């Protein structure tokens, strides 16, 4: 049986409490794994800065929703067998800026669907604390 995290069929956003696979194991399987700490992140600008830094977005990243969708649907600069993103302290942004939080989730879900069509794993885990 194949580990679900290595399968594009299971792509998507995994809610708080979902079992988080060991990042080292994911990396050993060829996935690029990132933990993005949203501690202190209270708005769209802070979110964009954290994502750009952690995911090493290219210089052309425009720090807006369309650019975020473009980057998450590409990730060619992080060439890997798949992608795993952990959003730590996710409740803080959700509470501080619910509109940005909902838009982020929509973009992440769209990216997961695009990667699913390509057969590439793309998983986002939400955690209340540091991963």
Is the pLDDT at 22 greater than 90? The verdict is: no
Task: Please report, for the chain, the start and end positions of each structural domain, with discontinuous segments joined by +.
Answer: 4-126
Nearest to 107 by CA among 31, 30, 55: 55
**CB-based contacts of 89: which residues, under 8 Å, 6+ apart?**
37, 38, 39, 41, 127, 128, 129, 130
pLDDT band at 1 (very low <50, low <70, confident <90, very high): very low
What is the pTM assigned to this prediction? 0.93
Is the pLDDT at 16 greater than 80? The verdict is: yes
pLDDT for 2:
57
- Of residues 79 and 124, the one with the higher pLDDT is 124
pLDDT in tens, 30-55: 999 999 999 999 999 999 999 999 99
pLDDT for 130:
66
The CATH class of 4-126 is alpha beta
């Amino acid at each position: 049986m194949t580990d679900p995290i290595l399968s594009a069929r299971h792509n998507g956003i995994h809610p708080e409490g979902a079992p988080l696979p060991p990042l080292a194991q994911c990396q050993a399987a060829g996935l690029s794994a990132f933990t993005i700490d949203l501690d202190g992140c209270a708005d769209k600008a802070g979110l964009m800065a954290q994502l750009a830094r952690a995911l090493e977005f290219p210089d052309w990243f425009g720090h807006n929703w369309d650019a975020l969708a473009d980057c998450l649907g590409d990730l060619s600069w992080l060439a890997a067998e798949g992608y795993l993103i952990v959003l730590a302290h996710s409740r803080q942004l959700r509470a501080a800026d619910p509109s940005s939080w909902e838009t982020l989730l929509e973009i992440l879900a769209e990216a997961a669907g695009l990667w699913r069509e390509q057969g590439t794993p793309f998983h986002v885990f939400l955690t209340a604390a540091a991963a």
